[in-house]
């Protein structure tokens, strides 16, 4: 790959507002939030999209999923949130380094009824 903004965040070449970091991933606040709480959970390994995951990546996928409640707790939204992957341009993916969106509307008592485009 040539240059990748999320690899640059993983490698601390560009700054981000990190919530959680471990051996497998970093989670940080989205710079242009599409919801009151909008976090990106990004594996340290560069994989272009969900379509490119292989069996070798099972530990990475597991790490992403296990990070979800930890991140949700850290940002105070464990009682309700959405998680989403955009896949490919037609799926809204703009950055070709796989990432999970975690979105929440903590001040909306009934939660968000519609799936927001992210
Ligand atoms: P996607 O459209 O699924 O590829 O999502 C990419 C997301 O990355 C968007 O929600 C952007 O706002 C977000 N983003 C882009 N650059 C940065 C950055 N430097 N720090 C944090 N979030 C970013
Ligand atoms: Zn990358």
Give the pLDDT confidence score for residue 23 in this predicted structure.
98
pLDDT per position as a tens digit, 80-98:
999 999 999 999 999 999 9
Closest ligand by atom to 52 CA: 2
Rounded Cα–Cα distance for residues 91 and 93 (Å): 6
Region 5-104: CATH code? 3.30.428.10
Ligand 2 centre to CA of 46 (Å) is 4
Sequence spans of domains, the chain? 5-104
Q: Looking at the predicted structure, is the pLDDT value of residue 113 above 80? A: no
Dist. CA 97–CA 87, nearest whole Å: 10
List CB contacts of 60: < 8 A, sequence separation 6 or more: 24, 25, 43, 45, 47, 53
Q: Is the CB of 88 under 6 A from ligand 1?
A: no
Positions of E strands within 1-118: 18-21, 25-29, 37-43, 82-84, 100-104
Q: Is 115 in the pocket of ligand 1 (CB under 6 A)?
A: no
The Cβ-side half-sphere exposure at 9, using a 13 Å CA radius, reads 26
Give pLDDT tens digits for 7-48: 999 999 999 999 999 999 999 999 999 999 999 999 999 999
Ligand 2 center–CA 115 separation, angstroms: 26
Q: Is the CB of 93 under 6 A from ligand 1?
A: yes
For ligand 1, atom 15, name the residue with the nearest CA: 31
């Amino acid at each position: 790959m040539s240059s990748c903004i999320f690899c640059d965040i993983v490698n601390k070449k560009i700054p981000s507002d990190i919530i959680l970091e471990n051996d497998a991933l970093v989670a940080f606040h989205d710079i242009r939030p599409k919801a009151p709480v909008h976090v990106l959970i990004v594996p340290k390994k560069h994989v272009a999209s969900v379509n490119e995951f292989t069996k070798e990546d099972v530990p990475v996928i597991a790490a992403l999923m296990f990070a979800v409640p930890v991140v949700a707790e850290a940002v105070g939204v464990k009682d309700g949130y959405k998680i989403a992957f955009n896949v490919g341009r037609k799926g809204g993916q703009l950055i070709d380094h796989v990432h999970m969106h975690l979105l929440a509307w903590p001040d909306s008592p009934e939660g968000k009824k519609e799936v927001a485009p992210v």
